[in-house]
Amino acid sequence: MGYIMNEVILSILIIGGIGLLIGLFLGLASIKFQVKVDEKEEAVLNALPGINCGSCGFPGCAGLAAAIAKNEAPVNGCPVGGADVAEKVAQIMGVVSENTEKMVAFVRCQGSRDNITMDYEYNGLGDCRMLSYVPNGGPKSCNYGCLGYGSCVTVCQFDAIHVENGLAKVDKDKCVACKKCIDVCPKDLITLVPYKAKHIVTCSSNDKGPVTMKNCTIGCIACQICVKNCPVNAIHMEGFKAVIDQSICIQCGICKEKCPKKCII
Are residues 87 and 50 both part of a single domain? yes
Domain that holds residue 137: 102-195
In a domain, 154, yes or no: yes
**Residue at 135 is within a domain:** yes
Question: Alpha-carbon distance 223 to 104, whole Å?
Answer: 28
Residue pLDDT, tens place only, 155-206: 998 899 999 999 999 999 999 888 899 999 999 999 999 999 999 999 999 9
Can you give the CATH number for the domain in which 177 is found?
3.30.70.20
H-state helical runs in 48-194: 60-69, 82-93, 151-155, 180-184
pLDDT, one tens digit per residue, over 96-123 is 777 677 889 999 999 998 999 999 888 8
Instruction: For residues 148 and 218, state if they share a domain.
Output: no
**Burial (0-12, 13-18, 19+ Cβ within 10 Å), 152:** buried
Is 11 within the bounds of a domain? no
Amino acid at 180: K
Residue burial 231-248, b: 16+ Cβ < 10 Å; e: rest: eeebbeeeebbbbbebee
Q: What percent of the chain has pLDDT over 70?
A: 89
Task: Please indicate, yes or no, if residue 4 is contained in any of the structural domains.
Answer: no
Alpha-carbon distances, residue 99 vs 65, 84, 93, 96 (angstroms):
19, 10, 16, 9
- Residues 187 and 204 grouped into a single domain: no
User: Which of the residue ranges 8-22, 41-55, 90-104, 106-120 has the most confident prediction, judged by mean pLDDT?
Assistant: 106-120
CA distances from 71 to 39, 55, 96, 140, 185 (A): 14, 18, 13, 48, 33
Q: Which helix (H) or strand (E) holds 103?
A: strand 103-107
Q: Which amino acid is at 63?
A: G
Q: Using a cut of 0.85, tell me whether the model's pTM lies above it.
A: no
Alpha helices in the chain (DSSP H): 2-32, 39-47, 60-69, 82-93, 151-155, 180-184, 209-215, 225-229, 254-258
Output the CA torsion 16→20→23→27 (10° steps): 170
